[in-house]
Amino acid sequence: NNRKTPNRSNRKMSKSMKSRRRPRTNPSESTRTSRIQNANKAEQRNRQSLFSNRPTNSKSSNSTTASEAQKIQKSLMKTQHLLKNELDRVSNISHAIEEDENVLQQTMDHHKSLNTKQAQTALTSLQR
C-alpha cells in the first residue's frame, strides 16, 4: 500500500500525444455539435445534387431547371414549416413563463401581506 502513484502533472507528453488530446466538452454539447455538423453536411450534399451535373441540352436543361426549382421550393416550404413550428413552440414557452411570473408575483404579494409580527409574538408567548 506504500506504492507511490505517479503524479499526472509530472508526466511528460510527447508532441503527438498533445496534438491528439481533445478538449473536455459537455456530452450534450458534443452531441449538439455533431448534429449541427451532420445537418450541414446533408445540406451541402443537397446543394451539390441540385447544382451539379447540369446537362447542356436546352430542352433537357429547361426540364432540369424546372425540376431543380421545384426541389428548391419544396425545401423552402419545409424550412418555412419548421420555422413556424419553432416560433409557435417559443411563443408557448414565453406564455407559460409569463403565467408563472404572475403566479409567483401573487404568491409574493400574499406573503408580504401576512402579518408576521403578530405571528412571531404569538409564537413567543406560546413558547413561554
pLDDT digits (tens, 9 = 90+) for 3-43: 555 554 445 555 555 555 555 555 567 777 888 888 888 88
Q: What is the pLDDT of residue 124?
A: 87
- Exposure on the CB side of residue 39, measured as CA atoms within 13 A: 7
Tell which wins on pLDDT, 35 or 57: 35
Q: Mean of the pLDDT values across residues 73-85?
A: 95
Tell which wins on pLDDT, 6 or 109: 109
Could you tell me the three cell numbers for 96? 407559460
Read off the pTM: 0.41
Closest CA to 71 of 39, 47, 37, 36: 47
Query: H-type helices in the chain, by residue range?
Result: 15-20, 27-51, 58-113, 116-127
Phi and psi at 2, nearest 5°, equal -90, 10
Closest CA to 76 of 46, 37, 120: 46
Other beta carbons within 10 angstroms of residue 127's beta carbon come to 6
